[in-house]
Amino acid sequence: MLPDCWTVEQYSRYSACYSWLYANNGKLGCVLCKDVEQIGPMWQEVGVRPALSDEWVSGTVGPYGKSKDAQQASLRKKINRHLKSTSHKAATDITAAREKAALENTVAAQQTAAHDDTCRVFRTAYYVAKNDKPYTDHPDLIDLQKANGASVGRVLHSNVVCTDIIDHISLEMKRRVVAEMVAAKSQMSVLIDESTALSHSSCLIVYVRTTLDENVGPITFFFDILELPGTTADDIELALMNCLYANGFTDAYLNECFMGFASDGASVMLGKKNGVAAKLKDRFPRLLTWHCLNHRLELSVNDAVKCCTEINPFKVFLDTLYALYSMSPKLQRELGQCAKEVETQLHRIGRILNVRWVASSCRSIKAVWQSYPALFTHFTEKAQARGTDSRERAKFSGMIKKLQNPVFLKNLGLMYDALEELSDLSLALQKSDISLGSAHRMICRQVEVFLARKETMGVYYAEACRAVDEGNFKSVNINTSAGKEREIVKTQFYQALADSVTARLLPESESELRNAVEVLDVNSWPQYMPVEFGEVEVRFLCEKFLVPMSEVKNEFRDQKDSRGKTEMGKVLRHLVNRVNSLPISTAACERGFSKMNAVCTVTRTRLSVPHMSCLMFISLTGPPLDRFDPLPYVKKWLARHRRDANCTTCPERAQRSELDEYESLWSVLC
């Protein structure tokens, strides 16, 4: 039934111009808006989320005015206004996307016969990326499968196509992860770090920490690596936001679910006024920014070293050992021979207290401690060798006196004890499942250990003191009359470590969040708990992480009644997972840069950053080869009108035709 002010001819003319127009009970409606019903995340990518008009969806748009001309004019205005509205444009685009998807599915269904061979090719390319192999291995692996009788089609066998396949798989995997996160509204944290690739380009590595399964808890995974046009805070923020938008994150999702940001302590990252964290916080006010605890630990060790100047001569001697053996393969061989003679296992001696993390310094101290007799034997042989000039003999004689010095041995034992503790703490903070609560407990416990060491002795310091009293350490005579050297004051050193770790890793500015998180840990609960114990802190966390306190309260009280023995409620577990999604260390970014150097080697410095990102995503984040199902990615590939492995409209890969000089030998061997 048409509107009263329209004739059949008028309706025919309008419906011809506007194919989406329909009439119902004397009213008008929009077919597209009716079919779509609701705007999804598609338009959110550009910051627009229009609501569809209920009148146009339900077909209840009518004219207004008393005269027929006025009613016709009002309908013309309403039709024109709806045509230009953002909601109608969104509905039009969504309908077109559905038709395109239907077409893609039809094309993919027509090519089902080519799936098996194409899947084998995709699985081969995936193997190349997963195992950090060069693209040029792909043709050889295809030839290997052919030789084994596997059907791999006739095309998609070149290293160039291998690049395209890996990029396609990686991008589709990212889209799947992002779509799952957006659909579930999972809280997300971002970890970033900046470094320089072997190709001398500035790169920003991006990791994401989120919860995809409430029963498993949060995970941290590599997301992307970006080439930076510059290293200012504006450049880094723009690159990060473009990365998030390009991979499917929307403003609506980020405003609600972008919860945490972590980086190292560089001023460009965490500057209070113009750092990347400050700029992101202006954009997302709820964002919690965090300075990596591992980087803070390194700064605290440097603070303690500055307070104890007696460490400097000790550090200089170990740096001398590093320079001596790292630059001379001959001396390395001679030291190895000395180690065999004294039946000592030799370890590599590196630098201590430099740009590397304390775990590296601990390994260097351990190498000197275990190689003590081998070093002494080697220095003695070099000092007495006839071919050694007087300058070299004097240098090695001085090193012999150093090893026989009781003060040096005590300093070595003291540093070994301290660095072993710091190394264990650093490695614990680097674990992917570390949370703020567990990190806080470990740091507090470590401070207590340092304070206790002021009155007690560590294992290696006690062994060094016994060796000094006995005058012998691992068959090396300790000379109490050896050259003077300043001993590291044990009480001062451990107090400096405790103070610096407390100042850097347990600042007052973070106490409210730390104390609130600690309430969620059953082990931190006192023996007697008031009825409302921890509820103020839990309410604080609920407000921070957008979880209803009314739903958490009863589950938290149930946990207190059972002292954590009953299974945690669904909503309380949800809160715990959101809290644990806050990143407290960017060690994953450092491991990502190690993988980047393994992928982009000195022979592959021309590898572009986007290709490197795709290789790293599969290598670091992709499932194992035996769990990888290439079929969904093959269907997407074919739906985009890419060739299948059995395509006959293009030539096959050219086979080697020229004769090799070993052809006659091969004919005998084969």
pLDDT in tens, 66-91: 788 888 888 888 888 888 888 888 88
As given in the structure block, the two tokens for residue 626 are 């035996």
Return mean pLDDT, the chain.
86
- Indicate the range of 133-142, 333-342, 564-573, 619-628 predicted with least confidence: 333-342
Mean pLDDT of 236-244: 94
* Identity at 102, one-letter amino acid code: A
More confident residue, 251 or 197: 251
Q: Has residue 482 got a pLDDT over 90?
A: no
pLDDT at residue number 135: 93
Residue 383 has pLDDT above 90, yes or no: no
Coarse DSSP helix, strand, coil percentages of the chain, rounded to the nearest 5 percent: 60, 5, 30
Q: What is the pLDDT of residues 487-546, one digit of tens each?
A: 889 999 999 999 999 999 989 888 899 989 988 888 888 888 888 898 899 999 999 898
Out of 14-18, 100-104, 139-143, 156-160, least confident range: 100-104
Tens-digit pLDDT profile for residues 332-363: 787 777 766 655 655 666 667 666 678 888 88
Whether residue 62 has pLDDT greater than 90: no
Ranked by mean pLDDT, the top range of 42-56, 239-253, 311-325 is 239-253
For 579, the 3-state DSSP assignment is: helix
What six digits make up the tokens of 496? 């400096």
What b/e string do you get for 579-590 counting C-beta neighbours within 10 Å, with b at 16 or more?
Answer: bbbbbbbbbbbb
Question: Which pLDDT score, from 0 to 100, does residue 365 have?
Answer: 87
Phi-psi region of 292 (alpha: psi -120 to 50; beta: other; left: phi over 0): beta
On the question of pLDDT at 268 being above 70, the answer is yes
- Pairing type for strands 21-24 and 219-227 reads unpaired
Task: Tell me the per-residue pLDDT of 210-238, one tens digit each, with 9 for 90 and over.
Answer: 999 888 889 999 999 999 988 899 999 99
Asked if pLDDT for residue 203 goes beyond 80, the answer is yes
Tell me what pLDDT residue 43 has.
46
Please write down the HEC assignment for all residues of 290-348: EECHHHHHHHHHHHHHHHCCCHHHHHHHHHHHHHHHHCCHHHHHHHHHHHHHCCCCCCC
CB 71 within 8 A of CB 64: yes
In this prediction the pTM is 0.78
- Amino acid present at 358: V
pLDDT-derived band at 41 (thresholds 50, 70, 90) equals very low
Q: What pLDDT is stored for residue 528 in this prediction?
A: 85
SS3 assignment, position 548: coil
d(CA 208, CA 190): 5
> What is the per-residue pLDDT for 42?
44
pLDDT-based confidence at residue 483 (cuts at 50, 70, 90): low
User: 445: which 2 tokens?
Assistant: 């416990």
Please report where in the chains the tokens 């059907």 appear, as a residue.
151
- Per-residue pLDDT, 620: 94
Contact 315, 353 (CB under 8 A): yes
Task: Output the pLDDT for position 525.
Answer: 86
Average pLDDT on 599-613 reads 85
Given pLDDT bands bounded at 50, 70 and 90, which one contains residue 657?
A: low
